[in-house]
Amino acid sequence: MTQTYENYIGGEWTGSESGETTEVTNPVDGEVVSTVPVSSTAETDAAVAAAVEATDEWAGMPGPERGAILRETGEILKNRKAELAETLTSEEGKPLGEAQGEVQRAIDIFYYYAEKARDFGGTVKQPSGGRAGLSTKKEPLGVAALITPWNYPIAIPAWKIAPALAVGNTVVVKPAMQAPTVGAKIIEALDEAGIPDGAINLVCGPGSEVGERLTTHDDVDAVSFTGSASIGEHVYEQSTANGKRAQAEMGGKNPTLVTSSADVDKAVDIVGAGAFGGTGQACTATSRAIVHEDVYDEFVDGIVDYAESLTVGDGLEGADMGPHVSQGELEGSLEYVDIAKSEGATHETGGEELTGDDYDAGNFISPAVFSDVEPDMRIAQEEVFGPVLAVIPVSDFEEGVEVANGVDYGLSASIVTEKVDEENAFIERSESGVVKVNEKTTGLELHVPFGGLKRSSTNTYREQGDAGLEFFSYIKTVYRNS
């Protein structure tokens, strides 16, 4: 059944001024999942104006009351978990089990920041010179613009919206047009939870208009972006040039280093889950397996078997791996498969567009493994954003760390080893914002900071945990002499 969503501005659901809409389709079969407006600067300006008007009411509400609305939002999402997961799978394509996990994460994020809203305040310090008091007070920035991606279309909006609201900012959200529906359902839940009109706003439209306007609007105080490096760098430059606080979390070329001491079967499972989960459409996906030569052949055999064991198909029907979100994303992965072949990497398996029977109407590719990859090949340097794994041989631990760090990105990295000294050395020397030991590069805890280094992030502020609150607030120092 096709769902219809409009923009949400000032507490009202409303279409675009032009009346133009676009269809969001299922990447499995091309069936229409929803229709949403195609908005422009007019709707964006209206949403910002509504957020400005609501600022005093929302910021002036006691933290526990804001928290109660966030908690009720989490309860509403919890009661609709099955529906939300099915919607997510239908519009983005990931398997239902992964979608259920993502929805649960969104629920947990609202619960977490609901409690944080209660404690959001400042500190009391001992004054000198006979002053009556010395303290700090945390304040919201004002209006926060959130530009969110399609690959985690409920979790990422949740981890931006919840902390922004918890500290008293009003919000304008621009979701990705490939998968906006499940994010719109967050707004629906906030509305039902009783959030004041204008405190949360949703504008659906292209980044070239809606996103660009948000980064330049005089009344927007903060911009938080997640997406590709090229667009994120532009958003950051545009936002900061206009005096806004900004953060951008972007791409990755994430390695897993498999040492000579590693349990190879465990390494295969870790790398396989990190590389092919979510069809590889994650900024933290495992794109490179850097494997010690002593266990290299065994690892390659194992990861090829892993890839070939996966069923590719409809995530609602129990497939292990779903389609790409769009034909354009599929074509990007297929292009990198051709590049890897032309560069001389050994094509072990996969990387073919799947056609026939139930595949013809969808954006399907088989999970691909390339071995004998050189560190300077494009397949080892550039973000693919698909289920394409480069396996790189190294002769020792030192070379492995050097190869792991030898890219322009630094988001997530992991090591599989049985040696504590290798664990410690990798943790210290990894040039990444997230380091994992004997775990896949994907998967995050919500109560600790998340962000990258190098081209993976603007490296200004982290997201999630207390760091999420820090981005959306500033500290006022109060001196009392009375």
Q: List residues with catalytic annotation.
A: 249
**Exposure string for 431-444, b = 16+ CB within 10 A, e = fewer:** bbbbbbebbbbbbb
What is the C-alpha to C-alpha distance for residues 115 and 436, in angstroms, rounded to an integer?
28
Residue 22, Cβ neighbours under 10 Å: how many? 16
208 near 19, Cβ under 8 Å?
no
What is the C-alpha to C-alpha distance for residues 203 and 176, in angstroms, rounded to an integer?
10
88 near 158, Cβ under 8 Å?
no
What is the C-alpha to C-alpha distance for residues 96 and 319, in angstroms, rounded to an integer?
9
SS3 annotation, the chain: CCEECCEEECCEEECCCCCCEEEEECCCCCCEEEEEECCCHHHHHHHHHHHHHHHHHHHHCCHHHHHHHHHHHHHHHHHCHHHHHHHHHHHHCCCHHHHHHHHHHHHHHHHHHHHHHHHCCCCEECCCCCCCEEEEEEEECCEEEEECCCCCCCHHHHHHHHHHHHCCCEEEEECCCCCCHHHHHHHHHHHHHCCCCCCEEECCCCHHHHHHHHHHCCCCCEEEEECCHHHHHHHHHHHHHCCCEEEEECCCCEEEEECCCCCHHHHHHHHHHHHHHHHHCCCCCEEEEEEEHHHHHHHHHHHHHHHHHCCECCHHHCCCECCCCCHHHHHHHHHHHHHHHHHCCEEEECCCECCCHHHCCCCCECCEEEECCCCCCHHHHCCCCCCEEEEEEECCHHHHHHHHHCCCEECEEEEECCCHHHHHHHHHHCCCCEEEECCCCCCCCCCCCECCEECCECCCCCECHHHHHHHCEEEEEEEECC
